[in-house]
Amino acid sequence: MAHITMAALGYQLGLRGQKSHILATLWTAVIVVILDLSAPRLGTIRNSVEVYDWTLEGFKGGLLIPPLPASR
């Protein structure tokens, strides 16, 4: 969905013939932060390992599926 928004925005600015350096810089910063958060152990934004441990502990409980109601 983001690629459609980016394409539409680029097309509209291209039709107007305006160059928006601020918008391009902002968009680049957003994409860099998204990519950095997708690989947090490699990028410059460092997260604590406790967050991952907490998530893994949440999955240890498993999923409890209630029994089906008795048919009449």
Q: Break the chain into its structural domains and give their ranges.
A: 19-49
pLDDT attached to residue 11: 79
Neighbours of 17 (CB within 10 A): 6
Residues of the chain with confidence (pLDDT) below 70: 1-3, 18, 38-45, 47, 72
Please say whether the beta carbons of 46 and 40 come within 8 A: yes
d(CA 49, CA 33): 19
1 Cβ contact list (under 8 Å, min separation 6): none
Q: Is the pTM value of this prediction over 0.75?
A: no
pLDDT attached to residue 38: 67
Neighbours of 43 (CB within 10 A): 14
Angle, vertex CA 49, rays to CA 44 and CA 52, nearest 5: 110
